[in-house]
Amino acid sequence: MRVVHSVSDFRALRPSLGRVAFVPTMGNLHEGHVSLVRAAHEHGAQVAASIFVNRLQFGPSEDFERYPRTLADDAAKLEDAGVSVLFAPDEREMYPAPQAYHVEPPTEQVEILEGEFRAGHFRGVATVVMKLFQIVQPDVALFGKKDYQQLMVLRNMVSQFAMPIEVVGCETVRATDGLALSSRNGYLSDEERRRAPQLHAELQRVRHGVLNGNRDFAALQQTAASGLDATGWRTEYVRICRRADLQPADPGAIEARVVLAAAGLGKTRLIDNLEI
């Protein structure tokens, strides 16, 4: 595996790679990231990955400074998974000058759900992914469905800008008890880790209710949120939405749906979702 730290070096290497499937990450890798690499190999391409902790998508009270930087361990995992090239720039390489130009996703897509609690988050995500796409020039890019709203925003960005990139959403990888794998799970205490699968369990109950004909979506959402809050969580949202644009689902319509949730447990904020 080649490890490349500069934009110029990656661009010099890019013509020799041919068709590229790209897995962008912020590092601190777990099995969920490795599963994206495995999926990338199915696209008949060289696999490129990136590791970059992007300051632009963190709010002022979020965990940018303490986000784990584990480059050596991450590189070993990526090499074992068959990555051909790892692009691992530092902040000065990605932002040699303050980033004055940004990608501004539509308000209706980013001021809901995560955007209600993380102002500017998707502006930062879309901007860095656009920049990575310009550097890597992938044919395929793979993202996990755990960050469902992010996947929706990036798919729409690629479509709106007519970028010649196929965006693939990959299923969430879970621990045996149902907890969605996340780099932030490492912040949980042992006791919190034992309680964390409740978030997935509440989403399963909502999904089961919808599939069994319950059309009182407001009550399903409130019951799930109350179940979390009653056991010490701090629920931010539980919402049943249309998959296409994450607007509130219509109980009377025939449409693909997803239930999404975010809640705090101790000092850790967890998100999850289930397609319905």
Catalytic positions: 33
Q: What's at 254, amino acid-wise?
A: I
Whether 26 contacts 51, CB under 8 Å: yes
* Torsion, Cα of 27, 31, 35, 37 (10° steps): 30
Q: What's at 40, amino acid-wise?
A: A
Whether 220 contacts 214, CB under 8 Å: yes
Whether 25 contacts 33, CB under 8 Å: yes
Listed in order, strand segments (DSSP E) in the chain are 2-4, 20-25, 46-51, 85-87, 140-144, 166-170, 234-242, 257-265, 268-275
Task: Select from 120, 105, 116 the least CA-distant residue to 151.
Answer: 105
Cα separation, 253 vs 256, in Å, equals 9
Cα separation, 26 vs 129, in Å, equals 11
On the CB side of 234, how many CA atoms lie within 13 Å of its CA? 7
Q: Point out which residues pair with 24 in neighbouring strands.
A: 50
- What is the residue-wise DSSP string for 61-111? TSSTTTS---HHHHHHHHHHTT-SEEE---HHHH-SS---------HHHHS
Cα separation, 2 vs 131, in Å, equals 20
